[in-house]
Each structure stands twice: as C-alpha cells, then as structure tokens.
Amino acid sequence: MLSSIFVHIVDDDKSVCESLGDLLRSVNYQVALYRSAAEFLDIGRGQPDAPSCLVTDIRLPGTSGLELQERLTHLKIMLPVILMTGHGDISMSVKGMKAGAVDFLTKPFRDQDLLDAVAAAIRVDQARRQEAAKIGELQERFSRLTRREREVIAFVTSGFMNKEIASKLSISEVTVKMHRRGATQKLGVSSVAKLARMVEILDIQRLRAEF
Amino acid sequence: MAGAITSVCEGRLAMLIENPTLELETIAQAFLAISQAACYRGVAEAFLKAALEYSRAVRGAVILSAGSELLGNIDTSFLRETAKIFVSYPQQIEFRLPEAIEERVLICQEVVITHNGRINSALADPGGCPCGQDRIQLYLPVVHREQTIGVLYLESESRQKAFTSKCISALSMLALQAALSFKSAQLLDALRETSMWMIRGQTIGRIGSYRWNTRTQLTRASRQCYRIFNIDPDLNPVPFEVFKSRVHPDDFPGLERVLVQAASAKAPLNHEYRVVHEDGTILTVVAVGQFDLGPSGDLELEGIITDVTERKTAEQALVDARADLARAARLASLGELAGAIVHEVKQPMTGIIASASACLRWLAREPADVDEARKSVARIIQSACRANKVVSGLRSLVRDGQLQFARLGVEEVIEGVLLLLKRELERASIKLKTNFDKSIPYIEGDQLQLQQVVLNLVRNAIDAMCIVTEGDRALTISSKFVGGQAIVTIADTGAGIDPASKKHLFEALYTTKPEGLGLGLSICRKIIAAHGGRLWLESTTTFGTVFAFALPLHQSTNISEII
C-alpha cells in the first residue's frame, strides 16, 4: 500500500512538522521529519534511495532553508526543494526560486497546495532519476569498450571516414571496421547518429563531473 | 566760517571801547555762541571768532585736542593736519608753536605774550602778510581741570591797544567756556556712541529694555521694544492698555498673575508669553525684570524683553522631530511585534489545516484509519491551544496586569498630563480651559494608569479638533465631586463621533484613526474599571464630544487586575 516515494520535511516547529507529515502520510507518502538543516544533512542521506523531495521552512535555527538549498547544490544532491515561510517574504521567495526551488508556500497554506507541490517535485525527481539511470547504463556500456574501440569511436563521431581513421591510427581499414563494429555492438546502437548523440550525452556528463 | 570771523571786527572794535555795555553784551554773546556749539569744530570756530572779535587781533588759531595725550606729544612743528581740531584765520595756514614758548604754555599753563615781529609768528605765512613789523603775539592755554587741552593763538598789529589785562582775562574766560563746551561735546559724543552700541546690541540680540511705572501705568522703552511689540515709535511713553493689546489674549491672565506676584513680593520677574502683532504675527518673548522704587518714589518694573521666537521655533522643530522619531520607532516596533505575532499564529494554523485535511483522508480510506484520524485530531487540538496561547500572550503584552494604588489628587493627575501636552495644544491652537473642584479629596489610584487614561482622552480630543478647520478649538477639562465620586469630564469642540462608530467605541482594535491601534479607549475603560469606576461617552454632537469618568475615593482591595 505504501508507495516508495519519500518526502523529507524540515521545520523547527515540532507540531507543524508532525502535522505536515500526517498529511503526507495520509496520501501514502513515506515521510521523514527533521527539526533542523543539520539533522537532515546528518540523517537524511541514510534514507533509502527512492524518488523523493525536500519540504523545508526558510527560517530555521542555525542553517536556514535557503542555505540548506545551497548546501545541497554544492554537494550535488539533486533533491527537488519546496520552501515554506511564515512571512510572505517576496525577496526570499525570489531567491529561493532562482536557486531552483520547485515551489514556494506561504504558511498557512491549503493542504492541496502542499500535495500539488510535492507531486510536482516528485515528478522532477523521477525524471532526473530516469535520466541518471539512462546515463549510468550508457556509461556502463561505454566502460566495456577497449582503448582502440574508444579511439575509433571518437574519430567516427567527429565525422572521419574509415580510410582516414586507418591512416591516422596507422592501422588497416579492415581493422578500423572491426573495432567500429565491436563498439557499436557493445553500446547497442544501430546508427552513427545514435552513436554521436550517446557520445554527446556522455561528454556532457563528463564535463559536469569535472565541474 | 572763519572768513566771516573778522569781517565785522573793524567796525565793532571802535564801538567796544566806548561802550562797556556793548562790550559785556559781546562777551555774553561769545559765551552763548561757544556754549551752543555742538561739535568740536564748532566750539573751536566760535571760540576763535569771539577771540578775534574781542581782541582786535588780525590773525589767530585755535587748537583743541580730544585727548590730552595729543597735546602732550606736541612737537615743535604742530601742523594742522596732526591736531585733532585746528581752526585758523586766515584759513589753510600752518601753525608752529615756538619751542621756547611750548613749555610755558602747555605745561606751566601761562599766558605768553611775545613781541617778535612777523618773523617769529607761529603761523606760517605762505602768501605774505600785508601787516607791518610791529607784531605782538598771544599764546593762551585752554585748560580743563588743570589739563591743557588746547591753545589760543592771536596776532595783533597794534602794540598799544592789544592784549590788555582786561582783554586777557576776558579771553581766559572764553577759553574756560571753550574748554567746557569742548568737553561736553566729547561727553555727548561718547554718550551717542554708547547709545548706538546699545541700540545695535539690542537689535542684534532682539532685546529691548523698558521701565514701567505701576502708578501711572506708563512705560518707557527702547526702540527695539517698540519693534518687538509693534507699537508706533512716536507713542512715548506707552500706556499699559496699548501694551496689553499686544499680549496674546490666552497669555495675558498668566502674565498679569506673575506681574502681581512679583510686584507684591518685589521679586525678580521672569516670564515667557506671546505677543501678537496687528498683522497676526506671533512672537514669543521672555520678560525679565525687577520691581523697585523709581526716582519718583513710584513702584517701577525695570528690565529687558527678549524675542525668543526663533529659538522657540528651533526648539519646536526639535521637539517635533523627536516626536516623529518616537512615533516611527513605536510603529516600527509594533510592526516587528505584529510580524512576530503573525508568524506565531500562522505556524499552528498551518498545522491545523494540514492535520485536519489528513484526518479527513484517514477517515476516507476503506476501511477508515480511525487510529491515525484520532492522532490528527489530537494534533489539531494541540495547535489550536497553542494559537490561543499566542493571542493571550499578546494581550498581556499590551498591558501588564497589576495596579499600584496610592493617594493622589485628581487635579495633579490631570495637570501632569497637561504639562506633557502643552506644546501639542499650543501647536494645534487649542484653547485650554480647566475648571477644577477644589473640594475633591484625595483618591486612591494608580497615578501612571490614570494619567494614561487622561492622556488618551486628551489626545483623542486633540485629534478630533485637528480635523475641524472652522471655529475655535477649545478643550475643557472639569472635575467635580458628586455622590462620593470624583467625576472628570473632558470636552472638545471636534466634529463628534459618527453614530456607526459609537457602539464600537470601547471595543479593542476598533479605530477610526489611520494610525490608530484601536486600543486606547478599551484600555482606558479597563483601567477605570479596575479602579472601581466607570468611563463613558457623555455626549457627542457635530459640535463636540464629551467623555467622562468617575472614580471612587477608596479602593476595596489594594491590588486588582486590569484584564
């Protein structure tokens, strides 16, 4: 009955925290409650790896909600964030949204507002997870290529003909064809276009990793 | 003028010798001319003219010095430019006091006659003198209080008739008069200068001096006084009625009281009041003075009036700025407080909404999850209680509970507040009338809280009157003792309270003012109630509103709660 979706709630106000948890549990989400940003950073990462989002108040003792959002970005934790505030603070909401918050709720809010925001955040997380899974699979396949195969692929996706590649690598054209075939089989792609797109995604991922 | 000096000489001289009466008359006229001269040069000219006329001398000079030091420093060459006052006949001639004579004349103060002919003349002779060789010269010191202040020099051609002892004594008398006139001219000069300084000083300092005779009711005053009071300078002395007409009507009773007190005690006077000009200009002045018996034996008030309007304006601006700042600070802190309160209320509201909707969802399940629903309701109750606590806390913030009773006079309580509001009343041009029943005994009450009530009611009255632009603004505060209770009424001439607002008047958070909190009257009523009294709206029309409160003399218990 319980879904695998996980919602993290951070609010220093215990009763608010519990009530929000109550509401989310009543629609079958799994919830984890935290009273501070530090507590979330400590325990939150130990939670099961499932589609999830973070609902946090902006005003928190110690690290604020906005600072927590920054910390997550810095730690490359791609968790969608929903911000809450008791003061309809425009400048804070703008800052939060610019930093990538999914939604911004002003207390007191209607139950549906929170549920909608959480649903949207979960969709974002699921999409991200699917993308990540796909990339992960690609990376896994790519890692099975030999060094020669990778070199050949690099030239192919850069638009070189087999003949040119052969002369550049000082191997026969037949050997180039052999490596090329081996690589496309391992990667499971049928056309050069698909191959190019795949390399492109992986390159972006590599850039991101380096960044 | 010197040109005319001897034009009459020749004719008159012959007559003088024959007619002693005419001679006396001439001397008398010379005295008159010298004494009437108002300036230094006038004195010297009149003296020279008289001396020439009388002595039949053909040439002459008079040197007068305002300061004895000038003569003391006289050199042998005593040029006319260096002398303070030098007149000669003929004019434009140089004078040189011979060295041999200088000491005898200036120091020994002797009259010296020399027969040295034209060569030794003390007057330089650029144009050549037509006169003959037999010259006789007279040097006569001008002495005042044993001090040589000048020299008369005469030159005559006639050896026989010139400078007889009679002539010399007449000239000496004229010299005495010249010295006297010269000195009085000097005195007048000094007086004029002092007076100028005083006037200038009074103008700059906006200070006027006055002397008021209490018997004749007339005042003599300096020019600056006329300016301050806007009185015609030709009106001298100034009748009391004219002075009174310039005093602000609201301030006159107070001024009169102070004057009477100071006069009877012969005490120093120091009083501030307002002066109104015909064009409506209002000045604030401070009168300082002292009563004493004047030269006439009448009781007189002498003192100075200072126009302090500018200082007042600056002071007022400072007070205003402070009040604005205080108001801004109060509003800011209220804003902060409100923000905090709002947050504190929003938290449990968020919880209540979330738990309530969760509860509905638990119950909507098949089967209903009653256990979870119950927990949700428990949370709702918890949050609601918390919200209630926040609101209660707010109430205690507004006024912390306990009263401290002490014996106090109702009039003192009110006067204390009026002292605080004096400026506000003045600024709003509100006339204040008080009518206190002196027979009210002391009551038991919390002074601070009661003052808070009066302050609130008077502030409301001021605000109500500030909206009205027509008619006089008057605040009337009365007290009376009825049925063992002290009753205070506060009446304004404001626009009144509209019927719609009337029934909400004493409700908390109800206000008709843009910046009001709506706590004033409700708190007032609670304070009065805590004193065992009551506060009510006596009447309200479009011409004004009257609030009243009644307080019992004694409190049944020493401590009671307001809220």
Cβ–Cβ < 8 Å for A100, A79: no
Residue of B nearest to A114 (CA): B354
Interface test with B, best of A23, A29, A57, A59 (most B CBs within 10 A): A23
- Tens-digit pLDDT profile for residues B137-187: 888 998 888 888 888 988 887 666 678 888 888 888 888 888 888 888 877
Percentage of chain B lying above the pLDDT 70 cut: 79
- Please indicate, yes or no, whether residues B363 and B460 belong to a single structural domain of this protein: no
Overall domain count for chain B: 4
Cβ–Cβ < 8 Å for B114, B137: yes
User: Per-residue b/e over A75-113, b at no fewer than 16 CB within 10 Å?
Assistant: eeeebbbbbbbbbeeeebbebbeeeebbbbbbbbbebee
Q: How far apart are CA A90 and CA B53, in angstroms?
A: 107
Beta-ladder partners of B89: B60
| Residue B489, CA atoms < 13 Å, CB-side half-sphere | 17
- Please indicate, yes or no, whether residues B389 and B537 belong to a single structural domain of this protein: no
Q: Is A1 exposed, middle or buried (0-12, 13-18, 19+ CB in 10 A)?
A: exposed
Q: What number is the average pLDDT over the span B117-145?
A: 69
User: Number of H helices and number of E strands within chain B?
Assistant: 16, 18
Residue B77 one-letter amino acid: S
Nearest to residue B536, comparing CAs of B500, B497, B563? B497
Contacts with B383 from chain A: Cβ below 8 Å = 15-16, 19
- Please indicate, yes or no, whether residues B79 and B165 belong to a single structural domain of this protein: yes
pLDDT at B427: 74
- Please indicate, yes or no, whether residues B438 and B489 belong to a single structural domain of this protein: yes
pLDDT at A50: 87
Interface test with B, best of A12, A14, A19 (most B CBs within 10 A): A19
Q: pLDDT at residue B319 above 90?
A: no
Q: Indicate the Cα dihedral angle A155, A157, A162, A166, nearest 10°.
A: 10
pLDDT at B406: 83
The CATH number of whichever domain residue B536 belongs to comes to 3.30.565.10
Categorize the per-residue pLDDT at B6 as very low, low, confident or very high, splitting at 50, 70 and 90: very low
Contacts of A19 (CB under 8 A, 6+ apart): B350, B351, B352, B354, B355, B358, B376, B379, B383
- Tens-digit pLDDT profile for residues B515-562: 555 557 777 887 888 888 999 998 888 888 999 999 998 876 544 444
B60's enclosing H/E stretch is strand B59-64
Residue B557 counted as domain residue: no
Please tell me which of the candidates B350, B359, B362 has its beta carbon nearest to residue A109.
B350
The CATH number of whichever domain residue B56 belongs to comes to 3.30.450.40
Q: How far apart are CA A90 and CA B322, in angstroms?
A: 33
- Please indicate, yes or no, whether residues B59 and B161 belong to a single structural domain of this protein: yes
Cβ–Cβ < 8 Å for A155, A175: no
- Please indicate, yes or no, whether residues B48 and B152 belong to a single structural domain of this protein: yes
- Tens-digit pLDDT profile for residues B370-423: 999 999 999 999 889 888 876 765 554 444 455 677 888 999 888 877 876 776
pLDDT at B295: 79
Q: How far apart are CA A178 and CA A181, in angstroms?
A: 5
Categorize the per-residue pLDDT at B2 as very low, low, confident or very high, splitting at 50, 70 and 90: very low
- Please indicate, yes or no, whether residues B143 and B290 belong to a single structural domain of this protein: no
Please tell me which of the candidates A15, A25, A84 has its beta carbon nearest to residue B379.
A15
Q: How far is CA B295 from CA B221, B287, B433, in A?
A: 16, 22, 41
Q: pLDDT at residue B75 above 70?
A: no
- Tens-digit pLDDT profile for residues B177-213: 888 888 888 777 777 877 777 777 777 778 888 889 8
Contacts with A20 from chain B: Cβ below 8 Å = 350-351, 354
C-beta neighbour count of A37 within 10 angstroms: 25
Torsion sign, CA atoms B459, B460, B461, B466? positive
Is pLDDT larger for residue A122 or for residue B526? A122
Phi, psi of B17 (to 5 degrees): -65, -35
- Please indicate, yes or no, whether residues B27 and B98 belong to a single structural domain of this protein: yes
Residues 6-25 of A with CB under 8 A from B: 13, 15-16, 18-20, 22-23, 25
Pairing of strands B473-482, B485-491: antiparallel
- Please indicate, yes or no, whether residues B48 and B166 belong to a single structural domain of this protein: yes
SS3 A80: coil
Please tell me which of the candidates A22, A86, A87 has its beta carbon nearest to residue B354.
A22
Any B CB within 8 A of A26 CB: yes
- Tens-digit pLDDT profile for residues A67-77: 999 999 888 88
Q: What number is the average pLDDT over the span B23-30?
A: 81
All domains of chain A in start order, with CATH: 6-129 (3.40.50.2300), 144-210 (1.10.10.10)
- Find the domain containing B541 and state its range: 406-552
Residue B201 counted as domain residue: no
Residue B445 counted as domain residue: yes
Contacts of B30 (CB under 8 A, 6+ apart): B46, B49, B50, B53, B54, B174
Q: What number is the average pLDDT over the span A143-169?
A: 86
Last residue of a domain, one of B292, B307, B322: B307
Q: For chain A, what is the mean pLDDT?
A: 85
Residue B221 counted as domain residue: yes
Please tell me which of the candidates A15, A23, A107 has its beta carbon nearest to residue B357.
A23
The ipTM value here is 0.73
Token pair recorded at residue A33: 């409650």
